[in-house]
Amino acid sequence: MSRPVSLLLLLSLLAIVPASLTRAQEAGLYEHFDVYDGDNFPRTEYANRRKQTLEKLKSGEGMLLRSAEVRNRSNDVDYEFRQRNNLLYLTGVTETQSALLLLPDGVEIDGKRIQEVLFVAERNPTHEIWEGIRMGPEVAAQVTGITTVLPYDKLAKRLEDLFPTLNKLYYDSWTIESIVDPVVEGEFNWPAIVRSILEESELDLEIEDAGTILNGMRAIKSEREIAMMQKAIDISAEGHREAMRMAKPGMFEYEFEASMEYAFRRLGAEDPGYPSIIGSGPNTCILHYNTNRRKSLDGELVLMDCGAEYHGYSADITRTFPVNGKFTPEQRAIYNLVLEAQTEAIKECKVGVQFWDPHKKAGQIISSGLVKLGIMKEGDDVRKYFMHGTSHFLGMDVHDVGDDYTLQPGMVLTVEPGIYIPEGSKCDPKWWNIGVRIEDDVLVTKSGSVNLSAGLERTADEIERLVGSKRK
């Protein structure tokens, strides 16, 4: 049966053919790729994850995970490359033009039945002059421990031969791959296009999100993953300390950001896990503010929501402090109320508790506290001043995979209640432009919750002692 033209086009898009390759001497290249960092996961950890995944796949099913693409920033300048998490989770591979194919029934390659096949781009000495050395198939087999590694430009042909033998393909998802074009008044959604072409082809192939299988695995962190996250958290905590130590009125938000992210890089983090949020004065009341250009004024608060990413795992910490080192009575009252809500919510992070229970606890405390302070009336909706959830899961993504789970040992989630009173709120103006959020990263264990970022100062008195300490 002939293949539909659209399917052939899709397969060609999935495997961009690189320039002709030269087989360079491989000796010593394995050592070069030990910059996959000495403290990264051992190959056995990735192998165990792939084994678990294969055990969850049924006969006649397969899973295909593809790398991210290099994205253009402007003209001939690209954004820094960041690997897709599911491929990184199962292989540790950080290169573009790579893919992993998992098949419980296996596929015939060189007379052997193979369940896992890695595809990577072949080496190209010309490209390497400009972009750095790539692994190539031979070194990739040594680095990853996956014995069957094929050139990436063979992926399309392999898939064309394989698809008719499958009844279901678990395919990696993309959360944001849509382009809305106003000229043609249409939305181009790459994942939807891929699924549509595959499902409407003559293959009778069902497509399902790979997260159906992988999300549950990723939600429960191994001991090594927790150690990796602790490293990211410790780096982040030092960044927060450094920014608060140098604080003084008149500093620009970008100066705090520079101090924070300098510490991240100095201590080995590859990147911030997300754009740093540094808001002063009225900007403390903007939840995801990240312009970071305003000049802070004496008597104002500064809210810093920043986390480092270390080897693919992100921290997420928020601290709020008075830029002059001294809370006003109103600022301290709001700060202590948020701290009380956070402390009690952290206690709720225990095995068997529903994901939303910590949020409910924080909301109850903030609601009654705001009534006592006269900021809102009994029965008013607390979401006027506390409009976001208290928690999200944390891991390879700052908003990591996870749903309304019952909390289990090994889950890591943030606990981040906040109160935001923008100018013009229906309360005494003395409360206006006070925005406070306190956020820590909490591990659920069999014996209760563990605040992984507890080493970073949290109480109002601790914060006051820290702010500006480098100048004193």
Active site residues: 76, 288, 305, 316, 388, 392, 399, 416, 420, 437, 439
Give the 3-state secondary structure of residue 176.
coil
Distance of alpha carbon 27 from its chain centroid, rounded?
35
Residue 275 near residue 267, CB atoms below 8 Å: no
The 10 Å Cβ neighbour count of residue 309 is 22
Residue (of 258, 259, 327) closest to 299 by Cα position:
327
Burial class (CB in 10 A: 0-12, 13-18, 19+), 30: middle
Distances, alpha carbon 349 to alpha carbons 54, 225, 317, 360, 392, in Å: 31, 19, 17, 12, 12
Whether 369 and 417 have beta carbons less than 8 Å apart is answered as no
On whether the CB atoms of residues 119 and 99 are closer than 8 A, the answer is yes
Strand pairing class (206-209; 168-171) = parallel
Residues 434 and 421 sit within 8 Å (Cβ to Cβ): yes
- Residue 2: partners with Cβ closer than 8 Å, 6 or more residues away: none
Burial of 351 (0-12, 13-18, 19+ CB in 10 A): middle
DSSP alpha helices (H): ranges in 348-407? 357-372
Rounded to the nearest 10°, the torsion over CA 418, 422, 424, 430 is 80
Which residues lie across from 310 on neighbouring strands?
Answer: 313
Q: Where are the beta strands (DSSP E) in 190-262?
A: 206-209
CA angle 148, 152, 154 (to 5 degrees): 85
